[in-house]
Amino acid sequence: MRNLAEKWPATPDFAIATLNKDGVTVRTVSGLNQLLVSGDLTAWSKASGLAGEGVGAGAVASGDTYMVRIARDRLLAVGEQPFPIAAGWHAAGFAVTVMNAGLHVFEIEGPELDRLTARGTALDPGAASPSASILFAGIGVLFYRFGNPGRARLHVDRGLAPYLWEWLEQAQVL
């Protein structure tokens, strides 16, 4: 039987892989706790103690714990420590799904970040959007700035992380 895996490039070791190219640096952020929250986001805020609506595409998130807006009734809570909220349906009207193993997180920074953003998406790099859910390099991601406008994070389905890495390797920013 043919080995179909031979035609695909090897998946990088994301624990140590770093890409430095054309004025941007790309690396994996590991160890983040990610909860997908759906439903009554006001009830979620009361239960979790996290206030706000979450950041959208282009907006800047910061801190050890923050929220990323996906849709009117959906967000991703991201934190360095586990959240004290159990997964599953909550009678207050929201559901929580643990996404730690489902979403891969890339961090991209450098002086050419806006050019790379313009190459990967139709999003205006200087504008913010209410939702962080965008198409980047032809796939759905969550995109937002982190810490400062010169650094961005992309959350992508883990199965698509090797594709996005390859796209970033081959992208011509300049």
Q: Among the listed ranges 1-5, 13-17, 128-132, which one has the minimum average pLDDT value?
A: 1-5
Query: Can you give the pTM of this predicted structure?
Result: 0.93
Q: Please give the average per-residue pLDDT across 33-39, as a whole number.
A: 98
Q: Please give the average per-residue pLDDT across 28-57, as a whole number.
A: 95
Domain containing residue 154: CATH number = 3.30.1360.120
92 and 108 assigned to the same domain: no
SS (H, E, C) 93-135: CEEEEECCCCEEEEEEECCCHHHHHHHHCCCCCCCCCCCCEEE
Query: Whose CA is closest to 79, among 67, 96, 95, 97?
Result: 67
* Identity of the amino acid at 52: G
Query: Whose CA is closest to 118, among 55, 61, 171, 56?
Result: 171
Q: Establish if 135 belongs to a structural domain.
A: yes
In tens, the pLDDT along 48-79 reads 999 889 999 989 999 999 999 999 999 999 99
Q: Please give the average per-residue pLDDT across 92-108, as a whole number.
A: 97
The total of structural domains in the chain comes to: 2
Q: Is pLDDT above 60 for 174? A: no
Are the beta carbons of 111 and 23 closer than 8 angstroms?
A: yes
Q: Please give the average per-residue pLDDT across 77-103, as a whole number.
A: 96
159 and 108 assigned to the same domain: yes
What average pLDDT is seen over the chain?
93
85 and 110 assigned to the same domain: no
Q: Please give the average per-residue pLDDT across 92-102, as a whole number.
A: 97
Owning domain of residue 91:
33-54+63-98
How far is Cα 97 from Cα 35, in angstroms, rounded to an integer? Answer: 6
50 and 91 assigned to the same domain: yes
Q: Please give the average per-residue pLDDT across 128-155, as a whole number.
A: 95
pLDDT tier, 5 (very low <50, low <70, confident <90, very high otherwise): confident
75 and 107 assigned to the same domain: no
